[in-house]
Amino acid sequence: MQLAHIILAAGKGTRMKSSLPKVLHPILDQPMILYAVDTSYRVTSRPPVLVVGHAAEHVQAVVGERAEYVLQEEQLGTGHAVKVAMPYVRQRADVVLVTYGDMPLLRPETLRHLVQVHADTQSTITMLSVVLDDPHGYGRVLRDAQGNVVGVVEEVDATPEQRQIRELNAGIYCFDVPWLDEHLPRIQPSPIKGEYYLPELIGMAVAEGRRVTAIPVEDTDEVVGINTRVHLAEATKIMQRRINEAWMLAGVTIMDPQTAYIGPHVQLAQDVVIYPQTTIWGDTRVGEGTEIGPQSYILSSTIGRHVRIFHSVVEHAILEDRVEIGPFAHLRKGAHLAEGVHMGNFGEVKNSYLGPGTKMGHFSYIGDAHVGANVNIGAGTITCNYDGVRKNKTVIEDEAFIGSDTMLVAPVRVGRGAKTGAGSVVTRDIPPYTLAYGVPARPKRRLDEPTS
């Protein structure tokens, strides 16, 4: 069996009241549409056909090569949307899934089950239904006295009795492709809204004596469509709970799962501990035994084993094993802290390497620098890396000792084992094993080199 997947995402999402297209609103750190696209890929192992319309270019720019696109210029209804996608499907597949871009909580297992039932029952259409206490906004599933599905009626077209029905059309279908292709052009516009409704096909199939199967979903959360920002917040909570529960079952301690936010592409090792009010986004990886939080924010960083991150912000950085940072450390893009680095309160590191065992305890800024091993960076040290035009580099060699409140005016190099006095303004290179101090700092005396 060849399986294709069409995702409908041409609608405007008026009720979001936003200049951002609905399907680009994020759930955790990822645009809603990418959940549907990832799920599709996990079921079919190939990019889905995405029907785009409103803000099509914007959606395409975000989804990129993860999907194929068809443009539905005018949103004439779900039946019309599937019809415009058929040229991408008819030669390639005999069965096609149809889902929506605004249902991020749908699980791959549920779609696999739908396809399996479709094959097992030899149905022409297999659909998901959902039983809800509040049926508002959904099409109602019509069954005959024997329980066979005979059609779906949209809320606007439903009679008062039909409106009482609690089994609803989830809007997720599996179709036989040749039958679908032949019948899409036969859908008539709805008498009230003039739209071409996809569920019209259910009545047509039944009238031809074909089998239509509806499977009620077990977890009703899966088919929650996002229409408003209230739904968006609900879906975010559900996704947060799913992700956090999966990590807890995999051996991660999350002290307060309500306030821990972990993105869908984060990877955590066993015995990671996450304290309250901590957010871990992007493609961050965290090694075994590392503790993060409380109140920390980590974005797309690589973090080693037994690291301690306390009240800190870490963005696009690398922390090797046994690094300790915080409280109130800020690692910016390109910060790389080697094994055992200690960075205390109110420090900032950007685009710099700090070698193994280096210590930077208090109130320092290190930018565009290469710092060797076992360097001591005194309180208040600053690399003056920007001269107003260019970013310049600072090099501090192994075992150097930078006195408190030293200004390193880049480009500048502090040699191995050199020392600066408190309050120095370093404007010239300091040779190895030399003490320099003053404003501007000048070499004052040679230091003893360690005998090895």
- Please, what is the minimum distance in Å from the beta carbon of residue 71 to ligand UD1? 11
* Of 52, 67, 63, the residue nearest 13 (C-alpha): 52
- Please, what is the minimum distance in Å from the beta carbon of residue 167 to ligand UD1? 11
Q: Which is nearer to ligand UD1, 199 or 355 (CB)?
A: 199
54: contact with Ca ion by CB under 5 A: no
User: What is the Cα–Cα distance from 114 to 117, expressed in whole angstroms?
Assistant: 5
How many angstroms from the chain centroid is the CA of residue 349?
25
Q: Which is nearer to Ca ion, 138 or 275 (CB)?
A: 138
Q: Which is nearer to Ca ion, 11 or 415 (CB)?
A: 11
Q: Which is nearer to Ca ion, 13 or 293 (CB)?
A: 13
Q: Which is nearer to Ca ion, 8 or 206 (CB)?
A: 8
- Is there a contact between 434 and 418 (Cβ–Cβ < 8 Å)? yes
Which of ligand UD1, Ca ion, none binds 326 (CB below 5-8 Å, type-dependent)? none
100: contact with ligand UD1 by CB under 6 A: yes
Binding to Ca ion, residues 217-246 (CB under 5 A): 225
Any idea how long the chain is? 452
Which DSSP helix (H) or strand (E) runs through 179?
helix 177-183
Binding to Ca ion, residues 169-228 (CB under 5 A): 225
Token code pair at residue 44: 């079919």
Binding residue count for Ca ion, defined by CB under 5 A:
1
35: contact with ligand UD1 by CB under 6 A: no
Exactly one of 27, 50, 59, 198 binds ligand UD1 (CB under 6 A); which one? 198
88: contact with ligand UD1 by CB under 6 A: no
- Is there a contact between 16 and 25 (Cβ–Cβ < 8 Å)? yes
User: What is the Cα–Cα distance from 335 to 319, expressed in whole angstroms?
Assistant: 8
User: What is the Cα–Cα distance from 375 to 209, expressed in whole angstroms?
Assistant: 81
320: contact with ligand UD1 by CB under 6 A: no
303: contact with ligand UD1 by CB under 6 A: no
395: contact with ligand UD1 by CB under 6 A: no
Query: Which residue is it, tokens 């009626």?
Result: 153
- Please, what is the minimum distance in Å from the beta carbon of residue 208 to ligand UD1? 20
HSE value, Cβ hemisphere, 13 Å, CA-based, for 102: 23
Exactly one of 48, 104, 139, 356 binds ligand UD1 (CB under 6 A); which one? 139
169: contact with ligand UD1 by CB under 6 A: yes
Token code pair at residue 113: 């089950």
Q: Which is nearer to ligand UD1, 49 or 317 (CB)?
A: 49
197: contact with ligand UD1 by CB under 6 A: yes
> Catalytic annotation on 113?
no
340: contact with ligand UD1 by CB under 6 A: no
For the beta carbon of residue 253, count every other beta carbon within 10 angstroms. 12
225: contact with ligand UD1 by CB under 6 A: yes
3-class SS of residue 71: strand
- Please, what is the minimum distance in Å from the beta carbon of residue 81 to ligand UD1? 4
138: contact with ligand UD1 by CB under 6 A: yes
Q: Which residues contact 20 (CB under 8 A, 6 or more apart)?
A: none
User: What is the Cα–Cα distance from 394 to 332, expressed in whole angstroms?
Assistant: 17
- Is there a contact between 106 and 172 (Cβ–Cβ < 8 Å)? yes
Token code pair at residue 167: 């089994």
Active-site choice (265, 342, 362, 370): 362
3-class SS of residue 110: helix
- Please, what is the minimum distance in Å from the beta carbon of residue 302 to Ca ion? 40
User: What is the Cα–Cα distance from 244 to 12, expressed in whole angstroms?
Assistant: 31
127: contact with ligand UD1 by CB under 6 A: no
- Please, what is the minimum distance in Å from the beta carbon of residue 186 to Ca ion? 24
Q: Which residues contact 194 (CB under 8 A, 6 or more apart)?
A: none
Binding residue count for ligand UD1, defined by CB under 6 A:
27
Which of ligand UD1, Ca ion, none binds 101 (CB below 5-8 Å, type-dependent)? ligand UD1
Q: Which is nearer to ligand UD1, 97 or 338 (CB)?
A: 97
Q: Which is nearer to Ca ion, 201 or 343 (CB)?
A: 201
171: contact with ligand UD1 by CB under 6 A: yes
Token code pair at residue 286: 């965290």
3-class SS of residue 389: coil
376-377, strands of its sheet edge to edge = 253-254, 273-274, 291-292, 308-309, 324-325, 342-345, 359-362, 376-377, 401-402, 419-420, 434-437, 442-446
Catalytic residue numbers, as ranges: 362
Residues that bind ligand UD1 (CB under 6 A): 8-11, 51, 72, 75-78, 80-81, 100-102, 138-139, 152, 154, 168-171, 197-199, 225
Q: Where along the sequence are the contacts to Ca ion (CB under 5 A)? A: 225
